[in-house]
Amino acid sequence: MSGISFRELDPHDRYKLLCGVVVPRPIALVTTLDENNKVNAAPFSFFNVFSEDPPLVVLGLQHKADHSPKDTTRNIHRSGEFVVHMVDEALATTMNDCAIDFPSGNSEVEATGLATLPSVDIAVPRLAAAPFALECRQHVALAFGPGRELLVGEVLRLHARDGLVDRERMYVDFDVYRPIGRLFGNLYATQRDTFALTRESHAQWLARSGAREPSGESQ
C-alpha cells in the first residue's frame, strides 16, 4: 500500500513527519499575565493567521506530560488575553530562551531581560523588541483529547516597529522585516530568498496558454 497511514504511527512519529513536511511555520512568541501579574513568554509554531473578517489567529497548545496546561494556556484561560509577537532574526535566540521550562511563576521576560511596553486594549504587556505585536482576546478554545488544545484568538490591535509598515498603503516592507520560520527540531529558516508570482484571471490564463474557451457544442 502506498503512503504512510497515520493511524498506524505513534504520535511522536506523526509529530516528526508533520513538522518536517509543513514548513516553514511562523512563530508566535506569546506573552500572557499570570495570577501575580508576572509576564510569561513562550514560543508556539503551531500557529497561523486564520482570517481577516473576523481577524483571527490560531495557536496549537500542547499540554504537559501529566496533561496539565502550560503556563501560557493557563493564563489565557484565566484572563482571555494574550499578545502574539512575530519573531525576526534579531529576536531568534531570545525566543528560544523563552522555551526553556522555567518553573511556573518565573517570568521568562524578566529572566531574559526583555523590555515590555503597555498594550492598549488588554492588560497583557507587549515586548518592545518584537517587529510586530498583535493584541489578542480568546475567541474560542477547542480541546482535542487530554493533551491538545486549539485556541482561536481575535486580533484587536497591531503594533509595528517604526519603518515596517507603510500606513498609507498598508504594506509591510520586506526589505526591513526579517521574520524567521521554524523548520524541524532545532532548524529555522530566514525568508531572504523570495520570488514573485503574479496571480492571473481566467481570461489572462486563456490568452497566455493559447487555449480556447469551450464552445459548449460537441464536435
Ligand X SMILES: Cc1cc2nc3c(=O)[nH]c(=O)nc-3n(C[C@H](O)[C@H](O)[C@H](O)COP(=O)(O)O)c2cc1C
Binding site for ligand X (CB under 6 A): 27, 40, 42-46, 60-62, 70-72, 96, 99, 101, 182
Q: Which residues contact 2 (CB under 8 A, 6 or more apart)?
A: none
Residue 81 CB, nearest approach to ligand X (Å): 14
Nearest distance from C-beta of residue 113 to ligand X, angstroms: 17
Q: Show the 3-state SS of 81-149.
A: EEEEEECEHHHHHHHHHCCCCCCCCCCHHHHHCCCEECCCCCCCCEECCCCEEEEEEEEEEEECCCCEE
In angstroms, how far is the first alpha carbon of the chain from the final one?
41
Minimum CB separation of residue 60 from ligand X in Å reads 5
Give the residue with the Cβ less far from ligand X, 72 or 165.
Answer: 72
Q: What angle do CA 7, 13, 17 make, to 5 degrees?
A: 95
Task: Give 27 or 155: the residue with its C-beta nearer to ligand X.
Answer: 27
Closer to ligand X by Cβ: residue 33 or 165:
33
Closest contact distance (angstroms) between CB of 73 and ligand X is 7
Of 62 and 161, nearer to ligand X (C-beta) is 62
